[in-house]
Structure 1
Amino acid sequence: MPLVVPGINSKDSGSGSGTDSWMTKLMGKTLADKSDETSFAKKDLPQNHRVVEEGGFLTMDHNPDRLNVHVDKDGTVKKVTKG
């Protein structure tokens, strides 16, 4: 799991709603029912989100408020985007 230190090696502004903030919270973790050192609770994601699996299909509708959580085949978060 990559080491992420807010404000040092991330662009986290502390707003809590930006992509960088979510990237800091989610990178290298798996999505699960509850949070711990290696996982993040799905219930704590914003209401307007989608999980994008590696090799999966995406709709082309653009929603600037939607959080896209990209995961690899084992469910580890690899990227977080908006749209």
Structure 2
Amino acid sequence: MPLVVPGINSNDPGNDWMSKLMGKKLSDSSNETSFAKKDLPQNHRVVGEGDFMTQDHAPDRLNIHVDKDGTVKKVTQG
């Protein structure tokens, strides 16, 4: 049985988004420190520190968690 380490060798599409977004801010255009909002998948939500989230599960939804200054800290699906 192969070793499966979550986030490293899985087929999780959220992992791909994490590598694109981690440490960047969301903005109107992309560069080395920001990512354009228009390039996000249609089904996404941005969650700030301390924000409330609904508990509904949508497997195709991308959840983008940002800190107080808007920098992406975590990306999940659901």
Instruction: Give the TM-score of the pair, scaled to structure 2.
Output: 0.85
> Are positions 1:11 and 2:29 aligned together?
no
Distance in 2 separating the partners of 1:41 and 1:22: 13
Structure 2: tracts of 5 or more residues without a match: 1-6
How many residue pairs are counted as aligned between the two chains? 72
Question: C-alpha offsets along residues 12-54 of structure 1, whole Å, 9 cap, x if unaligned?
Answer: 77x7x70110000000000000000000000000000000011
The structure with the largest alpha-carbon Rg is: 2
Query: CA RMSD, aligned part only?
Result: 1.7
The aligned residue for residue 41 of structure 2 is 46
The aligned residue for residue 66 of structure 2 is 71
The aligned residue for residue 3 of structure 2 is none
Relative contact order higher in (CA < 8 Å, ≥ 6 apart)? 2
**What amino acid sits opposite 1:11 in the alignment?**
I
Structure 1: tracts of 5 or more residues without a match: 1-9
Percentage identity across paired residues of the two chains: 71
For the structure 1 residues 12 and 71, does the alpha-carbon distance in structure 2 shift closer, same or farther, using more than 3 Å as the test?
Answer: farther
Distance in 2 separating the partners of 1:11 and 1:50: 24
Runs ≥4 residues deviating over 6 A: none
